[in-house]
Amino acid sequence: MSVLVLTEQEIRQVAELDESTLTQVEQAFTWLDQGLVSMPPVMHIEVDEQSDVDIKGAYVKGQAAFAVKMASGFFGNAEQGLPTGSGMVVLLSAETGFCQCVFLDNGYLTDLRTGLAGAVSARHLAPEHVDTVGVLGAGAQARYQVESLKLVRDFNRVLVSGRSAENQQRYATEMADRLGVDVAVADSAEQLVKESQVVVTTTPSRAPVLSADWIHPGLHITAMGSDLPGKQELDPVILGSADLVVCDSRAQCEIGGELQHGVRIGAIDAADVVELGRVTSGQHPGRQTSEQITVSDLTGTGVQDTAIALATYAAAVAKGCGTTV
């Protein structure tokens, strides 16, 4: 049995933030809605207080292979000048169980599929006309989320609010250059939310960073930072007052997403939350008026990892990338 091994550099050559990978990630949510996916709960290995690994994976009926993904968060890495997040993906044959491809992506594919899930949400939930996008957090996902959004909405201004003046400024300079739009540091989170039509929260917070007082008609919020019990970015009252709350996986969001807090305080009934696949499959219309307030609660699902791995494997094979061992 031969196995294709792809390095991060090779993967970056064949998998990018573009229309094609966006379509593939959108497909993942539709597969979930169609009942085609066998996806166990996330496996979590605790290393110490600031280090852990999440393992996700999913088989999609009819697909020739499926992925198992390891995503690590080692927050002590920053002191050594290393990225805190890394990881790798393995593709196994759905016909024989043998390993087919190893993606030594150091977390790049996770960054990609996570950013694109935000764009999939916004495609169906953000208002048609977006002038300003606000992003809370100034790390890697603040970049992937906003760059992905550009695929679905033609905004011309970004407001950023991060933890340090230095990070915010670096973000503004980098992203203005990359996207060709005006990127400014917000005076406050409040100003950022009030002046934006789309807000993306990308922080590792364990308490609300976004107040219910700042919400206004026509706003779409994508909350992607919370993916574990105890994490939280939104005042849960927001979930109760929104016109439409969507989540990637109800089972996961009830455990680790914003939904955990919304349900706990009784602001929302989990049964009223729509899974994103309902919307991507056309079974639910998504946003219906320009005045609605919408929220998307994203925790990241194994089926996204399978979707991006399948697409990347196909592209690598087509271009003859990688080493066969």
Binding mask 248-267 for its own copies (x = CB under 8 A): --------------------
Which of 313, 305, 277 has its CA nearest to residue 64? 313
The two structure tokens encoding residue 88: 């790798």
Stretch that binds its own copies, among 88-96, 161-169, 206-214, 266-274 (CB under 8 A): 88-96
The yes or no reply on residue 64 touching its own copies (CB under 8 A) is no
Count other Cβ atoms within 10 Å, centred on residue 206.
Answer: 13
Binding range to its own copies, per CB under 8 A, among 76-84, 167-175, 202-210, 289-297: 76-84
Q: State the binding string over 154-183 for its own copies (x if CB under 8 A, else -).
A: ------------------------------
Tell whether residue 70 is a contact of its own copies (CB under 8 A): yes
Residues 304-323 that bind its own copies (CB under 8 A): 323
Question: With respect to its own copies, which residue has the nearer C-beta, 46 or 177?
Answer: 46
- The beta-carbon contacts of 106-110 under 8 Å, at least 24 apart in sequence, are 106/8, 107/71, 107/72, 107/83, 108/8, 108/11, 108/12, 108/15, 109/11, 109/15, 109/69, 109/305, 109/308, 109/309, 109/312, 110/69, 110/71, 110/85, 110/300, 110/305
| Minimum distance, C-beta of residue 217 to its own copies, in the bound complex (Å) | 42
Taking the complex as a whole, how short is the minimal distance between the CB of residue 63 and its own copies, in angstroms? 10
57/236 with CB nearer its own copies = 57
- 69 in active site: yes
Q: Which of 69, 150, 194, 319 is catalytic?
A: 69
Should residue 90 be labelled a site residue for its own copies when binding is judged by CB under 8 A? Answer: yes
324 binds its own copies (CB under 8 A): no
Radius of gyration for the alpha carbons in the chain, expressed in angstroms and rounded:
19
What is the C-alpha separation between 107 and 157, in angstroms, rounded?
A: 28
Q: Does 325 bind its own copies (CB under 8 A)?
A: yes
Work out the angle between the directed axes of helices 19-33 and 302-319 (0-180°, nearest 10): 140
Question: What tokens were used for 181?
Answer: 């739009």
Residues 268-297 that bind its own copies (CB under 8 A): none
Q: Which residues of 218-242 are buried (b: 16+ CB within 10 A; e: fewer)?
A: bbbbbbbbbbbeebbbbbbbbbbeb
Look-up of token digits 């960073």: 209
Give the residues lining the site for its own copies (CB under 8 A). Answer: 1, 3, 5, 7, 38-41, 43-47, 51, 53, 55, 57-59, 66, 68, 70, 72-74, 77, 80, 82, 85-88, 90, 92, 94-99, 102, 104, 106, 323, 325
Which residues are designated catalytic?
Answer: 69
